[in-house]
Chain A
Amino acid sequence: MRALSAVYRRELASYLATPTAYVFIAVFLFAAGAFTFEIGDFFGQGRADLGPFFAAQPWLLMVFLPALSMRAWAEERRAGTDELLLTLPAPTWSLTLGKFLAAWTLATLAIALTAPLWITVNVLGHPDNGAIAAAYVATVLMAGAYVAIGTALSAVTGAQVVAFVLAVLVGFLFTALGAPSTLSFARTLGPNLADILGAISILGHYETAQRGVLDLRALIFFVSLIAFFLYATAVAVEAKRGG
């Protein structure tokens, strides 16, 4: 646990020591606001809820979070510090989890900083705060899934840009599988295909939570997705020892 905690604290401090974290948070907040008020037509819908804000989150986080996680292992490899880490007597899972938790913490902080929107809808009307809280929990879990995907792909390559592009592509795949157009096309190919795609899609599970229903299946899905990609990260890191 000491190794995990040491890696977590070092990673978090490293994010905060450079402009990366601040730029990431500022741009994310700007984009979240633009999607909510301009594209989502927040005022035009005439309801005091955060529907437009949550609807944009899968697409925003899918692009923003790989920018945060791309450095996790790729930067270590570029700087040669992976040699330092991997010769410490620390289990690979603790290094992997420490890095993931640091990036996820920063993602959670960015999401938490959108709270003024929540306050605004309470000033404007009487939203269902329970539903909004549930949607926020799902958003944080979804962010964890995107961070885990990005961390895994960062462990595969030594180039941050490649890690970013791959993570956006894989994130897009997991998200778009649940898009209405994908599902309706899948229905034409086979009766069960749409159900299968919906079951492994981030969008499918997030949509129910977005409406304020945080069901167990969505929780299990996001936790499983995080666990799977963290396992893949550890495997990719260990594979590098084989040369």
Chain B
Amino acid sequence: MVLVVEKLRKSFGRRVAVEDVSFAVDEGDVVGVLGLNGAGKTTTMRMIAGYLEPDDGFVKIFNVDMALDRRRAQERVGYLPEGAPLYGEMTPLAFLQFVAAARGMAPDRARNAVRRAAQDAHLGDTIDRPIETLSKGYRRRVGLAAALLHEPMLLVLDEPTDGLDPNQRQAVRELVRRLAPERAILISTHSLEEVEAVCTRAIVIHHGRVVADSTPQALTERHGTLEAAFRTLTKGEEAIG
């Protein structure tokens, strides 16, 4: 199993953000994590990427416990944080070179990795332009290229298409489809259309708990449409404050 998440719990002060979240993801799986704003999706992704430590439970990547050997576990993860934060003054090339070096890659390996990741993410001639001058779509591609740099077996993408136009969304989806067969991919998203388009499984999180873990087809059969399934499972609530 590429990723095993077991009984994760995380609270901020008295607010419980994630409670008893468990699931597993294997090679070839593209798992969509759905939920309202504030449901606990990003907190879960952050714990899987090793940015946050769970209060309870564990994250294991290729059987390496994130809490016990964080560096070794993080070596196996490619992570695109929500909003793809980047250093605006750098060019994509300089940024990818920085990430490669910070990941401990030797110069030769780093050079090849940067070239390959830039190609995979279709950065084209934007590679030499300051990131702050790029469109949101290209910035997201730079973030994706950084996540792909070390050819991770597990890709964790937090809202990779949020705020992108339809063409940019399509480009990201095509990239995910292309990468999927050899990897486990976890995508947090608001877009049900995206889950139907690229995901082999959908996990719905509500009030920090997993309320459904099934294929999009099974959810659609049970509730009529994926949207109906989502509304039923989240009880028709709006964003959780």
Given the known interface contacts A83-B85, A243-B12, the answer about A3 and B104 at a Cβ–Cβ threshold of 8 Å is yes
Select one of A83, A90, A242, A243 contacting B104, CB under 8 A: A90
Looking at B71, B94, B104, which has the most chain A CB atoms within 10 Å of its CB?
Answer: B104
Main secondary structure of the interface of A (DSSP, over half): helix
Judge whether A125 is part of the interface by a CB distance below 8 angstroms: no
Q: How many residues of A contact B (CB 8 A)?
A: 26
Judge whether B85 and A88 touch: CB under 8 Å: no
Judge whether A2 is part of the interface by a CB distance below 8 angstroms: yes
Across-interface contacts of B10 in A (CB, < 8 A) = 243
A84 to B51, CA, bound (A): 9
Judge whether B85 and A6 touch: CB under 8 Å: no
Looking at B70, B83, B87, B102, which has the most chain A CB atoms within 10 Å of its CB?
Answer: B102
Across-interface contacts of B26 in A (CB, < 8 A) = none
A2 to B100, CA, bound (A): 9
Across-interface contacts of B230 in A (CB, < 8 A) = none
Nearest-neighbour CB distance to chain A for B66, whole angstroms, equals: 11
Judge whether B74 is part of the interface by a CB distance below 8 angstroms: yes
Judge whether A116 is part of the interface by a CB distance below 8 angstroms: no
Judge whether B102 and A81 touch: CB under 8 Å: no
Across-interface contacts of B89 in A (CB, < 8 A) = 14, 17-18
Select one of B50, B86, B87, B101 contacting A87, CB under 8 A: B50
**What total of A-B pairs shows CB separation below 8 Å?**
80
Across-interface contacts of A17 in B (CB, < 8 A) = 89
A231 to B83, CA, bound (A): 31
Judge whether B46 and A88 touch: CB under 8 Å: no
Looking at A2, A3, A14, which has the most chain B CB atoms within 10 Å of its CB?
Answer: A2
Looking at A13, A14, A89, A91, which has the most chain B CB atoms within 10 Å of its CB?
Answer: A89
Select one of B51, B75, B82 contacting A89, CB under 8 A: B75
Select one of A9, A13, A18, A89 contacting B71, CB under 8 A: A89
Interface size class of B (residues with CB under 8 A): 20 to 34
A185 to B77, CA, bound (A): 58
Judge whether B72 and A89 touch: CB under 8 Å: yes
Across-interface contacts of A5 in B (CB, < 8 A) = 101
Judge whether A90 and B51 touch: CB under 8 Å: no
- Chain A positions 201-243 with a Cβ under 8 Å from a chain B Cβ: 241-243
Judge whether A156 is part of the interface by a CB distance below 8 angstroms: no
Judge whether B85 and A81 touch: CB under 8 Å: yes
Judge whether B103 is part of the interface by a CB distance below 8 angstroms: yes
Judge whether A80 and B81 touch: CB under 8 Å: yes
Q: Mark B19-33, 1 if CB is under 8 A from A, else 0.
A: 000000000000000
Judge whether B85 and A80 touch: CB under 8 Å: yes
A81 to B89, CA, bound (A): 13
Nearest-neighbour CB distance to chain A for B100, whole angstroms, equals: 8
- Chain A positions 1-35 with a Cβ under 8 Å from a chain B Cβ: 2-3, 5-7, 9-10, 13-14, 17-18
Judge whether A79 is part of the interface by a CB distance below 8 angstroms: yes
Judge whether B87 and A10 touch: CB under 8 Å: yes
Given the known interface contacts A84-B85, A87-B79, the answer about A243 and B101 at a Cβ–Cβ threshold of 8 Å is no
Looking at A10, A14, A241, which has the most chain B CB atoms within 10 Å of its CB?
Answer: A10
What are 23 A-B contacts defined by CB distance under 8 Å?
Answer: A3-B101, A3-B102, A6-B101, A6-B102, A7-B102, A9-B98, A13-B90, A13-B94, A17-B89, A79-B87, A80-B82, A81-B85, A83-B46, A83-B49, A84-B81, A84-B85, A86-B50, A87-B50, A87-B79, A87-B81, A90-B103, A91-B71, A241-B52
A-B contact sample (18 more), CB < 8 A, given A13-B94, A243-B11: A2-B102, A3-B102, A6-B98, A6-B101, A10-B87, A14-B87, A83-B85, A85-B102, A87-B51, A87-B74, A89-B72, A89-B74, A89-B75, A89-B103, A89-B104, A90-B102, A91-B71, A243-B10
